[in-house]
Amino acid sequence: MVAKISTGGNMFGALAYNQNKVDSGEAKVLFSNRMLLGEDGNFSIGECMRSFEMQMPVQLSTKKPILHISINPHPEDVLTDRQLSDIAKEYMRKLGYGDQPYLVYKHTDIDRHHIHIVGLRVDENGKPLNDKFEHRRSKQITRELEQKYNLHPAERKERAERPELKKVDYAAGDVKHQIGNTVKAACYGYRFQSFGEYKALLAAYNVCAEEVKGEINGKPYQGIVYSAMNDKGEKVGNPVKASRIGKSVGYEAVQRRMEKSGEAIKNGKLKERTRKIVATAMQTARSRKELERQLKKQGIDVVFRQNDSGRIYGVTFIDHDNRVVLNGSRLGKEYSANVFGERFSGETGKMHQSELSAPQQDQPTHQEQPGFTPKSDIVPGVASVLGAFGGLLGGGASGGDEPQDTARQKRKKKKKRTRRID
């Protein structure tokens, strides 16, 4: 069981987040504590706001009087509503908030049912309740609850709160739920530095991600829309806005993830392993299919993006062992889309002979990661998927892995043509 505690000053935001889940049938109110509300659980955000405001002191000595807690049992722990309610009450009492007004919601939007608690963390004088060592005490409380209710310990499976990463199956139904699980697992299970790399990763799991930009009342906005795809790379069903899945996979969150990934990849030298394995495969593989097979044995999927004429204009490597997604150009110019376009000739996909320095160290063998479902049909299936999207997944017919690569190449060419006149 994992508990997450957050504090803030926006009561409406915390209530709206949970009420939106209720309205969409993905959550329900389990119970309320010291709230001036009906007992049937059917009430509006306005009613909840008024109840909290009536008990909120006028003078506050903190800017964060609101408490928002999520309690997440292990996926294999199936609990009744009564058990979840008892857990919430005992948790809040032991943490010191048992006499505070709060609401408890049960969320069912992912396979792991969990609860959210929204309440006040200030006393009648507007002072915050004692939160000293709160996170440490919270962890101790969850351990006690695990023992009392015979639940799986959080330490037994560190990835308990991360959805399993698997391909979306449109025919299986509950598509929004599937997309949400896959997108969350991909976004926070892998590192990527561009939206093109993010889209290439998701496409491997039958999800199409598209950026949406525009204006509302004169103010610019940016967002992401996710859609399911079939194995042919065709979008099926209705698209799902990121806001319907959660802020954690919205535009700003993905941007932050890209920034953090860039730092981690640079500081941790995460691309070194990928580069060495790709270099070895390029040296020995006699065809594109053989290259794909060799890389897959080492835990790497390669995604080639092609235009209608069959020309390769982008290449992305998905290293499942390192959990990193890298466009070829990030590994070096000898791994860019242009190089692969030149090395593969004709319809047979044969590689031209060319020297590539082999890595000096032995390559680690591929070991499957928890939560990763190996896929034998990512390539060439994904290659055709991404080819069908064209510029949607980054890059263009010029051969660069990303649009900025193309622009950089054009600038270089322009500089070469410029003559200095003394």
Q: Is residue 164 part of a domain?
A: no
Provide the number of structural domains found in the chain: 3
Q: In this predicted structure, what is the pLDDT of residue 40?
A: 66
173-to-81, 179, 204, 236, 293 alpha-carbon distances in Å: 25, 11, 19, 12, 32
Q: In this predicted structure, what is the pLDDT of residue 422?
A: 37
Please tell me whether residues 310 and 247 are part of one structural domain. no
pLDDT in tens, 366-388: 443 434 444 433 444 444 334 43
Smallest Cα–Cα separation from 359: which of 269, 279, 300, 284? 279
CB 417 within 8 A of CB 209: no
Domain boundary among 126, 156, 186: 156
Mean pLDDT of the chain, nearest integer: 80
Lowest mean pLDDT among 284-298, 299-313, 335-349: 335-349
Please tell me whether residues 293 and 224 are part of one structural domain. no
pLDDT in tens, 260-282: 999 888 876 788 889 999 999 99
Tally Cβ neighbours within 10 Å of residue 246: 16
175-to-168, 368, 376, 385, 389 alpha-carbon distances in Å: 7, 26, 22, 19, 21
Q: Hey, what are 4's tokens?
A: 């997450």
Q: Is residue 144 part of a domain?
A: yes
Please tell me whether residues 144 and 179 are part of one structural domain. no
CB 104 within 8 A of CB 88: yes
Q: Hey, what are 233's tokens?
A: 């790379």
Which range, 25-29, 80-84, 321-325, has the best average confidence (pLDDT)? 80-84
Q: Give CA angle at 156 (155, 160), nearest 5°.
A: 85
User: In a 10 Å sphere around its CB, with 0-12 CB exposed, 13-18 middle and 19+ buried, how is residue 190 labelled?
Assistant: buried
Q: What would the mean pLDDT of 301-319 be, rounded to a whole number?
A: 88
Please tell me whether residues 325 and 391 are part of one structural domain. yes
Please tell me whether residues 134 and 248 are part of one structural domain. no
Q: In this predicted structure, what is the pLDDT of residue 130?
A: 85
Specify the pairing of strand 27-33 against strand 102-107.
Answer: antiparallel
Please tell me whether residues 38 and 132 are part of one structural domain. yes
Q: Is residue 18 part of a domain?
A: yes
Q: In this predicted structure, what is the pLDDT of residue 129?
A: 92
End-to-end CA distance of the chain: 74
Q: Is residue 163 part of a domain?
A: no
pLDDT band at 155 (very low <50, low <70, confident <90, very high): low
What sign for the dihedral angle of Cα 274, 184, 112, 1? positive
Q: What percent of the chain has pLDDT over 90?
A: 47
Q: In this predicted structure, what is the pLDDT of residue 384?
A: 39
Q: What would the mean pLDDT of 50-79 be, rounded to a whole number?
A: 90
Residue-range definition of the domain harbouring residue 357:
271-414
pLDDT in tens, 195-248: 999 999 999 999 999 999 888 788 888 999 999 999 888 999 999 999 999 888
pTM (predicted TM-score)? 0.50
Q: What percent of the chain has pLDDT over 70?
A: 77
Query: What is the distance between the alpha carbons of residues 12 and 279, in angstroms, rounded to a whole number?
Result: 54
Smallest Cα–Cα separation from 69: which of 25, 104, 108, 113? 104
DSSP assignment of 77-110 equals ----HHHHHHHHHHHHHHHT-TTS-EEEEEE-SS
HSE of 189 in the Cβ direction (CA atoms, 13 Å)? 26
Q: What would the mean pLDDT of 50-72 be, rounded to a whole number?
A: 92
Please tell me whether residues 276 and 395 are part of one structural domain. yes
- β-partners of residue 305 are 314
Answer with the residue of higher pLDDT: 90 or 46. Answer: 90
pLDDT in tens, 5-15: 999 999 999 99
Query: What is the distance between the alpha carbons of residues 225 and 358, in angstroms, rounded to a whole number?
Result: 41
Q: Is residue 211 part of a domain?
A: yes
Specify the pairing of strand 207-216 against strand 102-107.
Answer: unpaired
Lowest mean pLDDT among 73-87, 220-234, 392-406: 392-406
Please tell me whether residues 14 and 146 are part of one structural domain. yes
CATH number of the domain where residue 24 is located: 3.30.930.30
Domain boundary among 234, 267, 300: 267
Q: Is residue 161 part of a domain?
A: no
